Structure 1
Amino acid sequence: MTTVADRPAAEERLTPGTPLLEVRDLHVEFKTRDGIAKAVNGVNYSVSAGETLAVLGESGSGKSVTAQTITGILDMPPGRVTAGQILFRGRDMLTMSGEERRRIRGRKIAMIFQDALSALNPVLSVGYQLGEMFRVHEGASRKEAKARAIELMDRVRIPAAAQRVNDYPHQFSGGMRQRIMIAMALALKPDLIIADEPTTALDVTVQAQVMDLLAELQAEFQMGLILITHDLGVVADVADKIAVMYAGRIVETAPVHELYAKPAHPYTKGLLRSIPRLDDKGQELYAIKGLPPNLYRVPAGCAFNPRCEQATDRCRTEVPELHLIGDGRASACHLWKETLHG
């Protein structure tokens, strides 16, 4: 019987460091009765085999829309791609037929959603839902599909998997349901997993367990992993590099440890300051003033300027380009030097 650890032949796998996914100048907009909202405005990022990229930003920054565009979930009005490329193993997914993208989705690119209870069918057992992946995509028998479902549940450390395979989603805790979602993502041995807020609504201890599990599986199978979150604290120990998004654009990219040590954009600096610290007991928690911009009416110049404590007249009139500021680092800020060394 095929096991979860079985991988495709070596020549089909990319070696660590080889570009797996490249998003190039991606633009996505939503046409509504209130106007056109530019949800993604020129996003560029890449992830290699064996690499973990964290995409960070507040709600509405465009991080989830970018992920949904990559997987092909966002392929109908009112959302539409107006420009850009999404290269998977060198091929532009935006020019593929619907059938080609469906073959890639699930088998080569899998997604873990933030609300496991909503993502799972409440009237079907978790074993049936896991086994369906093998029955539909690989023609497995019911008996084999159930056995492989149990194996997957064991792999993501669900206790007594053989006894719980016939249980329903509501019979599992939030952390266990998220493990089932991870198992479903792993089922067809994808090259890339996109995890969209995988620890939302989980307590801190369970968050750490889920993130450790994802990191362990990613390292073992040498998959690319994209973690989407608004919480810098969640990804500190698992990400290799970080892309920070604001108002549909990437405003900073950097290796994880360099970004935490010296952010080069005021927005990133504000996010880091807002992380609760044990040594700040009794101190008021920092919060970035103001609210994210309305995507129908993004401010002129740098979109962050109304909330930025160091904004100048140039920031209010001229959009800063994302430019290289060092090895593997980029910032979209006119005052990146002051921020980096301040």
Structure 2
Amino acid sequence: MSVNLSVNLAGIKMKNPVMPASGTFGTGREFSEFMDIKSLGALVAKTVTLRPVVGNKPPRICETNSGMLNSIGLQNEGIDHFLKHDLPYMRKFKVPIIVNIAGNTLEEYAQMCRDLHGVEGVSGIELNISCPNIKAGGIAFGASARLAEQVTAAARYNTDLPLIVKLTPNVYNISKIARAVVSAGADAVSLINTVVGMSINIKTFEPCLANITGGLSGPAIKPIAVRMVWEVAQTVNVPIIGIGGITTAEDAIEFLLAGATAVAVGTANFINPRATIEIIHGIEAFLKERELTDIKQIIGKVKT
């Protein structure tokens, strides 16, 4: 029995609903030794900024129960380097490429959208709005519905590529933020980004991260992420990418049932470089076992 795993993510046609989460897969170079990148539904680039960023001081990663904390600080070589060196490599896999961008001002987001507009191989843009707005006192764009709406509108004005906004869970009402970005022109939303956390070394009495706090990811946050995806799916009528603690096909299926059109696999890539491929095969097997022929038969079908 054949199963249709293809999905349409706001105009991005994917052969299956599985992609790596930004920042956990690089450009695919290292993972290409372990898996066929062409099998992915899409390839998501590590966050790119307008200018090079050196990142935070080490230590920048520490393991926690059922997850990890990181404070990498968006280290990257900047968008010019990405366009010249990284994108050409990613294009050879012939899968949709989604470029995750981050900035500290509306102008930086707008400029990067202009830089990416019309570039061969770029299928969509994902806005990382967990960044501080330096002109608004350092508050994260994604922590305020007004700021989230403004940055989305600025991006929307400067590109007609499919625009995905990645939502932070570190807010009181994520549905309110989702409504704001969709009203400003977002074609899809992805959630969740990492949850702010902290770990302390009881031998030294010092924080485990030099930055003191960091972003918690991994299985520990999955129930939070599934709940938020379900809430947002009740709120907006655009595709959702579910992210947060996905390590198995069963995890991914939870997100699909909650209303996600696609899923992104993050921390699991560090443990198992073939995690994305195994999840794709697992979803297909799940559908076949239930004699279902199309992935759309389970999207949003949670019984509440």
Task: Give your verdict on TM over 0.5.
Answer: no
Q: TM-score w.r.t. structure 1 length? A: 0.36
Q: TM-score w.r.t. structure 2 length? A: 0.40
Larger Rg: 1
